[in-house]
Structure 1
Amino acid sequence: MFFLAIVALLILAYAGMVLYFSWVWANLSAQASLQKNRGEISHPIPFSKEAESKCLSVVVVFRNEAKNLPALIADLVRQDLPQKYWEILWVDDFSEDESLEIVKKAQNSLPNSQILRNDTFSHIFSPKKRAITQAISRAEGKWIVCTDADCQVPISWLSTILNYFQQTDAYFVSMPVRIFAQDSFFQEWQAVEFASLIGTGAVCVALRKPTMCNGANIAYNKAIFEQVGGFAGSEHIPSGDDEFLMHKIAKQFPLKVQFLKSQAVLVSTQANENWHQFFHQRKRWASKWEHYQNSFAKMLAVFVFLANLSVLVLPFWIFEKTWVVLGLLVFKFVAEFVFLTAVLRFFQQKKLAFWIPILFVLYPVYAVFFALISRLKSYEWKSRHYERT
């Protein structure tokens, strides 16, 4: 009975935490929210007339993204922030397809862009961190905005970000990202699971305990990036250009890391196309937690692992303590359902709530599996093989 008590305590604590997260998410207001009409922005927030040119420098690192780049380029062309106030720094990470040619053609409609080759700062092991560092060294903007080549961005993305920086004293801003869900179980399951990660990351930032963010939609002050030493200390880790930087800035400036909850900056990204990609992506993500310098982020990762492990062992008492087991599972399900439906509603993906019961069953197995498999030595990313450090 002692072990059942420990398991029950972990599950109750986890469910209580998720319900609290739901309350924080509901009360997380967007300081730069825009009015919406049929899903489109109808009243963009005006940016300051006093803004100097090249306030924002958008950084996009691409490798073999010929299929996805045209959509991102089209969205950038449509931005309602005049091009004199921002620039794009494209960094080609040795693409082997037509990506570079596509970006070169885009300069006709985006003359405020530069194209760089990821061939400097060789002391940085991570190709993406190396590329971003190179772009920042050439950036003219006061603020750096990062997204990925397989993303799509709303029309008022940049004007809202600029307005937010002008209205606040933020140094690092995390913003929402959702996964395209194209009517397949595999993609919709990814979208729901991804929503839980983005929502959790947003709540932790709001609580001044930043843990997770996504490099597909972040922005930060260039001078602060340089002041904290950029990616120094994590150059040997292939990923983490987003979270490790956020943790570094939060350590020195805990009140300057913020989350912008606004559909005007809601970025959409592609789902993994197959299980092989998904496996290596989640394995890469799971392997980062042990490198965290942020103690709260480490503690949260361990706590979530133990809570999900508790769910897996709970059925051992199903016949002996039936109502206790069912009560714990129902409480956990209700907590997760409330939180996930709130995040999915914001993401305009309410129909995906249908998958929450399935995720409820699968996620404990998934979470424990990837926590354990992350200990293995290698993974793949962008057609490259990495050994875990």
Structure 2
Amino acid sequence: MNNQQLTIHKSMPVSVVIPIYNGENDLPELIECLEQQTYPQELVEYLLVDNNSSDRTAEILTNAAKKAQEKGINLKHLTEATIQSSYAARNLGIRQANYNILAFTDADCRPQSNWLRELVKPFQDSQTGIVVGEIIALTGNSLLEQYADKKELMSQKFLLEHSFCAYGQTANIAIRKQAFRDVGLFRPHLTTGGDADICWRIQRESDWQLKSAPEAIISHRHRSNFKTFRSQFHRYGCSNEYLHELHGVALMRELTTKEIFYRLSRWIIKEIPKNSLKLVLGKASAIDLINTPIDLIGFHARTQGQKSSKLPEKAKQIERL
């Protein structure tokens, strides 16, 4: 570490907030990733918030906190059992945080070793209030995981180009604590869309700027079966509706029956023969053969989520720091 890096680190201690619900299968690998961070551990506190889990999460976190302390790592086990929402859990972490830079990720994420080091760099600019890292796919064997990887479904670069206003997912983002003081915390009763909501409120209601940190990388596991895939896109549709009600964002357009029939016909008549030949020649993969129907399944689930959801009145509430 050179002198410049040392100066940067000394000036920016970080609180890492991670909401956890039934995370017993994910916690061992997550904690290992946190222990391997190259950012000076004496400048980091890890606030892992159990959101009323029904599995062994609490037990694992209690033991992990003790072992981390023996290693000189500041890892704390917190509990949010009043409101079942990852945003309420994050709010508890924010309130308990001792530092002014707050980094967020999730239990099913795997931060690369230089994640924190890269994520805090843009905060050298005193006008930076939000920093968005990048999310890539964990290696998966199922066709859906390969599809999501090829489509870069979790990549933050698309969100940074959002037509309404740039934002980042809470799976990999950092926010200055003063920004929360200025505009309020996450909406605690919101169940999806809270990442866009907080980023938009900060940028539209204050002078804080959003920056990206593409080298601050987190790996995330994609959905491996159609049930969880549809659930993911259904939640995206709910988020569309909630953000429409909160911020006036345009809703996603529905595909007509004619458009769906056209895309399926084109897939059968043109895409399958073309991509089958490419597959034989080694110039395509199995994903290219089924790309269109998977697209339509995701689009339909998102549409259904958008049509069937309505923002609960409680979800409009904003807590203050």
The interval holding the TM-score normalised by the smaller chain is 0.7 to 0.9
Instruction: Report the aligned-residue RMSD.
Output: 3.6
2:132 to 174, 182, 206: 174
Per the TM alignment, residue 254 of structure 1 is displaced from its structure 2 partner at its CA by 6.7
In the alignment, is the contact (CA less than 8 A) between 2:233 and 2:299 conserved in 1? no
In the alignment, is the contact (CA less than 8 A) between 1:151 and 1:216 conserved in 2? yes
User: In the alignment, does 2:234 pair up with 1:283?
Assistant: yes
* Unaligned runs of at least 5 residues, structure 1: 1-42, 319-325, 330-350, 379-386
Per the TM alignment, residue 218 of structure 1 is displaced from its structure 2 partner at its CA by 0.8
Matched letter for residue 205 of structure 2: Q
Alpha-carbon distance in 2 for matches of 1:191, 1:74: 24
Alpha-carbon distance in 2 for matches of 1:58, 1:352: 41
Matched letter for residue 226 of structure 1: R
Q: Show the counterpart of 2:306.
A: 374
Alpha-carbon distance in 2 for matches of 1:89, 1:112: 9
1:248 to 192, 196, 201: 201
Cα displacement string for residues 204-238 of structure 1 (whole angstroms, at most 9, x for unaligned residues): 3xx8x43553221011011111210112xx44321
In the alignment, is the contact (CA less than 8 A) between 2:68 and 2:75 conserved in 1? no
Cα displacement string for residues 332-385 of structure 1 (whole angstroms, at most 9, x for unaligned residues): xxxxxxxxxxxxxxxxxxx9976356324531453144213432359xxxxxxx
Per the TM alignment, residue 65 of structure 1 is displaced from its structure 2 partner at its CA by 1.1
User: In the alignment, does 2:85 pair up with 1:132?
Assistant: no
SS at match of 2:204: helix
In the alignment, is the contact (CA less than 8 A) between 2:37 and 2:115 conserved in 1? yes
In the alignment, is the contact (CA less than 8 A) between 2:135 and 2:155 conserved in 1? no
- RCO higher in structure (CA 8 A, sep ≥6): 1
The normalised TM-score by structure 1 is 0.65
SS at match of 2:308: coil
Per the TM alignment, residue 48 of structure 1 is displaced from its structure 2 partner at its CA by 4.2
2:260 to 272, 293, 312: 312
SS at match of 1:362: helix
Structure 1 runs, 4 residues or longer, greater than 4 Å off:
43-46, 50-54, 306-311, 313-318, 351-354
Q: Show the counterpart of 1:114.
A: 76
Q: Sort the Cα spacing of 1:164 and 1:141 in 2 relative to 1 into closer, same or farther, 3 A.
A: same
Matched letter for residue 110 of structure 2: Q
1:87 to 28, 35, 45: 45
Matched letter for residue 170 of structure 1: T
Alpha-carbon distance in 2 for matches of 1:196, 1:114: 28
Q: Sort the Cα spacing of 1:271 and 1:308 in 2 relative to 1 into closer, same or farther, 3 A.
A: farther
SS at match of 1:199: coil
In the alignment, is the contact (CA less than 8 A) between 1:48 and 1:163 conserved in 2? no
Cα displacement string for residues 277-314 of structure 1 (whole angstroms, at most 9, x for unaligned residues): 3322221221111222444xx23x53xx3578784264
SS at match of 1:174: strand
Alpha-carbon distance in 1 for matches of 2:59, 2:146: 32
User: In the alignment, does 2:168 pair up with 1:210?
Assistant: no
Alpha-carbon distance in 2 for matches of 1:198, 1:118: 28
In the alignment, is the contact (CA less than 8 A) between 1:172 and 1:219 conserved in 2? yes
Q: Sort the Cα spacing of 1:50 and 1:211 in 2 relative to 1 into closer, same or farther, 3 A.
A: closer
User: In the alignment, does 2:159 pair up with 1:201?
Assistant: yes
SS at match of 2:156: helix
Alpha-carbon distance in 1 for matches of 2:265, 2:230: 32
Q: Show the counterpart of 2:277.
A: none
Q: Show the counterpart of 1:5.
A: none
In the alignment, is the contact (CA less than 8 A) between 2:9 and 2:40 conserved in 1? no
In the alignment, is the contact (CA less than 8 A) between 1:311 and 1:364 conserved in 2? no
Alpha-carbon distance in 2 for matches of 1:138, 1:186: 38
Q: Sort the Cα spacing of 1:197 and 1:368 in 2 relative to 1 into closer, same or farther, 3 A.
A: farther
1:223 to 156, 174, 178: 178
Identical counterparts, % of pairs: 20
In the alignment, is the contact (CA less than 8 A) between 1:46 and 1:163 conserved in 2? no
The normalised TM-score by structure 2 is 0.78
SS at match of 1:375: helix
Q: Sort the Cα spacing of 1:182 and 1:308 in 2 relative to 1 into closer, same or farther, 3 A.
A: farther
Alpha-carbon distance in 2 for matches of 1:129, 1:44: 37
* Unaligned runs of at least 5 residues, structure 2: 272-282, 317-321
Number of corresponding residues: 295
